[in-house]
Amino acid sequence: MSTVASPLSTPERQPLLGTPGLGALAVLVLGTLLLGYTYGTKHGALFLVGGGLGIALYHAAFGFTSAWRVFIMDGRGRGLRVQMILLALAVILFFPFLASGTLFGNPVKGFVSPLSVSVLAGAFMFGIGMQLGGGCASGTLFTAGGGNARMLITLLFFIIGSVAATIHFDWWTSLPALPPVSLVASFGAAGGILVSLILFAAITAATVLVEKRRHGDLETAIPAQRQGVSRLLRGPWPLITGAIVLVVLNFATLALAGRPWGITSAFALWGAKGVQLIGIDPSAWAYWQTPANAKALGASIFADVTSIMDLGIIAGAMLAAALAGKFAPSLDIPLRSVLAAVIGGLLLGYGARIAYGCNIGAYFSGIASGSLHGWLWAVAAFAGNIVGVKLRPYFFFEKKILSRADG
């Protein structure tokens, strides 16, 4: 009698770490030690936190872009509901410490920005870019780190778009705006949590209503073939597990850096460093004349917290992809897909900078900070995603919609 090999027999016989995985692991270990020695223990720890974020994003396939597209195209809201759980856990954890202003004896503050025309315009651009570029800010980093060559194109033009926005940043910020509004400052920690939970519950109920009307039932997760330690190391993780890990690591960022997790300010910095190499002086632009930005421009990128966390995400995602046996970059990218990556990357970069952040800095960390600009960002970005979804057929052949698709 013949026997049939289980679906896991071939991949599980693969070595736990190949060359890419060993390289990524070495980068994470040595990078943590070197950064800690050069810039201090917290700096090194933040690089390691970035690595953890990359692993979680990759293994959970935690996509903001795909979750929004699936809901827009197919009415399936499981991804959006997990995002509401992510945000609910974040506000419960963050608000008490933001209200007190200290965490473990260290000063902390959230990302609270104006309610402005620039947020509306930038988030709308970013939303279109999410669907054309194939990912958001976190999605671009973890898929690029995981070996997706197309996302390296998106990342390059994300950086170009970011530095371009710094040229016009003072014009955008001169447009009509309302002062920053914080739910924590307005209602206190308990009141801000209550208001936020009501909003999350309303969005969750709306996704349930839409999904049941269109499909009659709610989507359930596909059972994983791996379980136990194998699943922990090689993935895939349940979406909810990814959400919990992201909240915990964002909280660790707040404790270590004194502010929440952000991504895209580093892209503007990398772009500014790049234009310096070709003889252009970005310090003449108003954006780079604020004390914090001027200091970052004059220092090494390894001194910048956001930069080292972004690099950690890439290394962590590469390690996770190697553990999953899926690190296999391919340069076979259709021309239309390349064009979409270029356009999408530019919109992502430009939009994030003028909107005071991306899906992480404005949406996740902004709402976790109690800032109303995070909610304004979410509405405008969702509208942009609707437009982006309508544009996708000009660039992509759409396959069956999957909740755990790209970033």
- Name the 3-class secondary structure at 102: strand
Q: How far apart are CA 135 and CA 144, in angstroms?
A: 10
Tokens at residue 185, please? Answer: 């400052």
- Name the 3-class secondary structure at 106: strand
Nearest to 115 by CA among 186, 179, 174, 183: 179
CA angle 224, 229, 231 (to 5 degrees): 25
Question: Is 226 part of a structural domain of the chain?
Answer: no
Within 10 angstroms of residue 45's Cβ, the number of other Cβ atoms is 18
CA angle 145, 256, 63 (to 5 degrees): 35
3-state secondary structure 281-309: CHHHCHHHHCHHHHHHHHCCHHHCHHHHH
Question: Is 185 part of a structural domain of the chain?
Answer: yes
Structural domain span for residue 203: 16-217+231-394
Query: What are the b/e assignments for 119-128, b being 16+ CB within 10 Å?
Result: bbbbbbbbbb
Alpha helices in 258-371 (DSSP H): 265-277, 291-298, 305-324, 335-354, 365-368
pTM, 2 dp: 0.92
Question: Is 143 part of a structural domain of the chain?
Answer: yes
Question: Is 191 part of a structural domain of the chain?
Answer: yes
- Cα–Cα distance list, 171 to 118, 160, 175, 270, 305 (Å): 9, 19, 7, 22, 27
Question: Is 58 part of a structural domain of the chain?
Answer: yes
- Cα dihedral 354, 67, 112, 273 sign: negative
Nearest to 91 by CA among 191, 14, 207: 191
- φ, ψ (nearest 5 deg) of residue 230: -60, -45
Alpha helices in 75-116 (DSSP H): 78-100
Q: How far apart are CA 119 and CA 366, in angstroms?
A: 12
Question: Is 9 part of a structural domain of the chain?
Answer: no
pLDDT by residue, tens only, the chain of 407 residues: 333 333 343 444 556 678 888 999 999 999 999 999 999 999 999 999 999 999 999 999 888 999 999 999 999 999 999 999 999 999 999 999 999 999 998 999 999 999 999 999 999 999 999 999 999 999 999 999 998 999 999 999 999 999 999 999 999 999 999 999 999 999 999 999 999 999 999 999 999 999 999 999 998 888 877 787 888 888 899 999 999 999 999 999 999 999 999 999 999 999 999 999 999 999 999 999 999 999 999 999 999 999 999 999 999 999 999 998 888 888 889 999 999 999 999 999 999 999 999 999 999 999 999 999 999 999 999 999 999 999 999 998 755 444 443 44
DSSP-assigned letter for residue 237: P
Cis? peptide before 260, omega within 30° of 0: no
The DSSP result for 167-226, as a single string, is HHHHHHHTS-EEPP-BHHHHHHHHHHHHHHHHHHHHHHHHHHHHHHHHHSS---PPPPS-
Q: How many domains does the chain fold into?
A: 1
Question: Is 399 part of a structural domain of the chain?
Answer: no
Question: Is 223 part of a structural domain of the chain?
Answer: no
Tokens at residue 68, please? Answer: 């929004």
